[in-house]
Amino acid sequence: MIGPAAVPDELVIEAGRTEAHYWRDLWRYRDLFYFLAWRDLLVRYKQTVFGVLWAVLRPFLTMLIFVVVFSQVAGLPSDGVPYPILVLAGMLPWQFFATALSDSSASLVSNANLITKIYFPRIILPASSVIVALVDFTITLGLLAAVMVWYRHVPPVQVVLLPLFVLLSLVAALGPGLIATALNVKYRDFRFVIPFIVQFGLYVSPIGFKSSVIEGRLGPLARLLYSLNPMVGVIDGFRWCLGAEPSLHLASLAISVITSVVLLGIGVRYFRATEKGFADIV
């Protein structure tokens, strides 16, 4: 007779059962999270000639276009701050959001071979694509720093709060990213919707102009409604930290933060509700 051995905790698999150890499992698989992101980065830069340069080149060229179109042609005001800094402070977080959304939504379908053969918390796949986008984002922040040095623009003290807004942009990207990922597995034509959302979002986010323009032309209520777009809070925050915006509109920021958090909550719930069926339909 063997005594009571150290019984590892029991796992029950049942239809419709929500995983009791979901978050603990996620923690156990943290290395996978890291390795997937590492794989994507490594592979991307192994196959290209320009490598890391791509991450910088794309926002740089877009910035040039924005600068020409908005400051020279449209003549939008920038209140004394160099216009390229204003544009970059808006465009970089936006580009992060757009990349995170499109990459994460494609992540499950492009890793279908993993999903049908191995168990791991599926949320790791879209999440690690978001992390890859975040790495690109930090590279482009270097570009922004270079532009600031070029214009001899010294950021104010609140620049130390910048990481908080990076975190907010992460939350803002992850929520819609998870929703899009789950929808993309179930409905294959959803991938046609994503570029549209990205393009549309570019114009409804305050990238070529300041959010205060909305308030100035359409009134304070319009600005609050406008802040339902989570990127409004992120971009305004970036500009404030970099001294491209004199003050932070707290109500507007609060609305953006709440929208981001709610979207993340919906995203995680929806993803978890559908993830067990992924292997059957992917």
Partner 1 sequence: MANPIISVENLGKRYRLRHQQQSYETLRDSLTATAKSWLAGRLATAIPSEEDFWALKDVSFEINQGDVVGVIGRNGAGKSTLLKILSRITEPTTGRIRLKGRVASLLEVGTGFHPELTGRENIFLNGAILGMTKTEIRRHFDEIVAFSEVERFLDTPVKHYSSGMYTRLAFSVAAHLRSEILIVDEVLAVGDAAFRHKCLAKMQSAAEEDRTVLFVSHDLAAIQKLTEKTLLLSHGRLQSFADTATCLAEYVASCSRSDATNLPRPLNSCPVILTELRLEDSTGRNTRSLKLTEPFDVRIRFSCEQPLRNAVIGIAVHTPNDVALFATHTNDFGTLLECSPGDWEAVCHVAPNLLRAGKYRISVGVLDHNLLVYHVADACRLSIEPILLDGSGHYDERIGELYMPMRWAVAPATLQSN
CB of 170 to partner 1, least distance (A): 22
Site for partner 1 contains 152 (CB under 8 A): no
* CA atoms of 136 and 96, how far apart (whole Å): 8
Of 42-50, 144-152, 161-169, 243-251, the segment contacting partner 1 by CB under 8 A is: 42-50
Site for partner 1 contains 14 (CB under 8 A): yes
* CA atoms of 281 and 122, how far apart (whole Å): 14
Among 22, 54, 60, 120, binds partner 1 (CB under 8 A): 120
Of 80-88, 89-97, 145-153, 271-279, the segment contacting partner 1 by CB under 8 A is: 271-279
| Residue whose pair of structure tokens reads 């926002």 in the numeric block | 59
Tokens at 105, concatenated: 């939504």
* CA atoms of 160 and 7, how far apart (whole Å): 49
CB of 21 to partner 1, least distance (A): 11
Site for partner 1 contains 194 (CB under 8 A): no
> Coil, strand, or helix at residue 203?
helix
One symbol per residue from 56 to 95: x for binding partner 1 (CB under 8 A), - otherwise; what is it? ----------------------------------------
Q: Which helix (H) or strand (E) holds 132?
A: helix 124-150
Among 85, 87, 91, 115, binds partner 1 (CB under 8 A): 115
To the nearest 10 degrees (0 to 180), the angle between helices 83-110 and 162-186 is: 40
Angle at 253 between CA 268 and CA 179, to 5 degrees: 20
CB of 117 to partner 1, least distance (A): 4
Nearer of residues 118 and 250 to partner 1, judged by Cβ: 118
In single-letter form, the type of residue at position 112 comes to A
CB 59 within 8 A of CB 138: no
Residues of the shown chain interacting with partner 1 in the complex, contacts defined by CB under 8 A? 2, 7-16, 28-29, 31-32, 34-36, 38-39, 42-43, 46-47, 113-120, 183, 186-190, 193, 276-277, 279-281
